[in-house]
């Protein structure tokens, strides 16, 4: 903050702008965070309402309960959805990380022909409207018998996650010193050893944050799974979506709160990793 302090020679206009800047930043933060924060107290609502009851506003303990959480952990439908998500998201993430990293490493080599075009195609799932990808996948997967299978949902989610992995890994590769791979070769390591012992540890932070984005993409995704999956592959977001449409139960708020907590946990992990990688990069010579 001390760097943001006003210099003694600031004009009145600069002073006004200085404080206005903080107000604008605060408003932006409020706009972004308020809708998320508001669901947290609501999820502890003792009634089946989506609004704050008078008892809640009076901070009466009777106005609060864990019944929606209990509902989430005991209802078959919710548990089925939870386990589907827990199965599908990691599988899709692993696939996206593996393929996305290979693609990024490959596309970072200058001799690859049409690298820009290939890159654009691989990243397209991020740009094309989801509903179009979803519809396309539906028709394609139906043809080859993948529609309504776990494998189909995993593949579809992996395709959505790959662009994130490619982008984060490519970004780390930009800072990667190519003479390190040459050094490794001159020391007698074959390309595979070089990849795992030299390149991979240095681009790992990019791989992990890409994987995290891929995981969250799959974990939060509702459109594609609606098309590609069947009732068996109903995931958490899908269940939330149907929950909203059909029963309007505050259980959704409990689930949302749990997801928010998981997201915060994952983002913290990313941040810690990023700091570690920065430290490591600061350590790289040149």
Partner 1 sequence: MTGTSDGFVVFDRVQKSYDGETLVVKDLNLSIGKGEFLTMLGPSGSGKTTCLMMLAGFETATHGDILLDGKPINNIPPHKRGIGMVFQNYALFPHMTVAENLAFPLEVRKIGRADREAKVQRALEMVQMGAFGGRRPAQLSGGQQQRIALARALVFEPELVLMDEPLGALDKQLREHMQFEITRLAHNLGITTVYVTHDQTEALTMSDRVAVFNDGRIQQLARPDELYEKPVNSFVAQFIGENNTLLGRVKEINGTALVELDDGEVIDAIPVNVRNRGDRTLVSIRPERVEIDPKRLTPGAHLIHAEVLEFIYMGDIYRTRLRVAGNDDFVIKTRNAPDQRRLRPGEHIEIGWLPEDCRALDAP
Phi-psi region of 249 (alpha: psi -120 to 50; beta: other; left: phi over 0): beta
Among 113, 129, 265, 285, binds partner 1 (CB under 8 A): 285
Binding mask 78-117 toward partner 1 (x if CB under 8 A, else -) reads ----------------------------------------
* Tokens found for residue 160: 């959505």
Residues facing residue 45 across a β-bridge:
64
Q: Is the sign of the CA dihedral 229, 231, 236, 239 positive or negative?
A: positive
Q: Which is nearer to partner 1, 14 or 193 (CB)?
A: 193
Q: What is the 3-state secondary structure (H, E, C) of 132-196?
A: HHHHHHHHHHHHCCCCCCHHHHHHHHHHHHHHHHHHHHHHHHHCCCCHHHHHHHHCCCCHHHHHH
CB of 205 to partner 1, least distance (A): 11
Asked if 180 is part of the footprint of partner 1 (rule: CB under 8 A), the reply reads yes
Nearer Cβ to partner 1 (147/277): 277
**Residue 1: how many CB atoms within 10 A of its CB?**
4
Question: Cβ 177 to partner 1, closest distance in Å?
Answer: 7
To the nearest whole angstrom, how small is the minimum distance from the Cβ of residue 111 to partner 1? Answer: 12
For the segment 182-211, give every residue that binds partner 1 (CB under 8 A).
182-191, 193-194, 197-198, 201-202
Lookup: tokens for 237:
């977001």
How buried is 271 (Cβ within 10 angstroms: 0-12 exposed, 13-18 middle, 19+ buried)? exposed
For partner 1, the closer of residues 106 and 201 by Cβ is 201
Lookup result for tokens 């139960």: 249
Is residue 177 involved in binding partner 1 (CB under 8 A)? Answer: yes
**CB-nearer residue toward partner 1: 79 or 179:** 179
Part of the chain binding partner 1 (CB under 8 A), chosen from 72-80, 108-116, 176-184, 242-250: 176-184
Closest CA to 224 of 116, 141, 102: 141
For binding to partner 1 (CB under 8 A), which residues are involved?
Answer: 177, 179-180, 182-191, 193-194, 197-198, 201-202, 280-286
């Amino acid at each position: 903050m001390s760097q943001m302090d006003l210099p003694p020679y600031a004009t009145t206009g600069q002073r006004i702008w200085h404080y206005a800047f903080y107000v604008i930043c605060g408003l932006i933060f409020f706009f972004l965070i308020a809708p998320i924060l508001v669901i947290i107290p609501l999820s502890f609502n003792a009634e089946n309402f989506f609004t704050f009851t008078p008892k809640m506003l009076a901070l009466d303990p009777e106005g609060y309960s864990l019944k929606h959480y209990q509902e989430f952990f005991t209802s078959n439908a919710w548990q089925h959805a939870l386990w589907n998500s827990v199965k599908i998201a990691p599988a899709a993430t692993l696939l996206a990380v593996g393929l996305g990293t290979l693609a990024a490493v490959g596309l970072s080599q200058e001799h690859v022909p049409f690298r820009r075009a290939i890159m654009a195609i691989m990243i397209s799932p991020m740009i094309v409207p989801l509903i179009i990808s979803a519809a396309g996948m539906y028709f394609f997967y139906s043809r080859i018998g993948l529609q309504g299978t776990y494998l189909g949902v995993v593949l579809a989610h992996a395709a959505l996650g790959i662009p994130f992995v490619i982008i984060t890994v490519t970004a780390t590769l930009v800072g990667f010193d190519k003479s390190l791979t040459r050094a490794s070769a001159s020391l007698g390591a074959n390309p595979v050893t070089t990849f795992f012992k030299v390149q991979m540890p240095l681009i790992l932070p990019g791989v992990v944050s890409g994987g995290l984005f891929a995981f969250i993409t799959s974990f939060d995704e509702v459109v594609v799974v609606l098309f590609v999956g069947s009732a068996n592959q109903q995931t958490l977001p899908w269940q939330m979506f149907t929950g909203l449409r059909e029963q309007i139960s505050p259980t959704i708020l409990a689930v949302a709160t749990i997801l928010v907590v998981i997201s915060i946990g994952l983002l913290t992990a990313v941040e810690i990793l990023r700091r570690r990688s920065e430290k490591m990069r600061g350590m790289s010579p040149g």
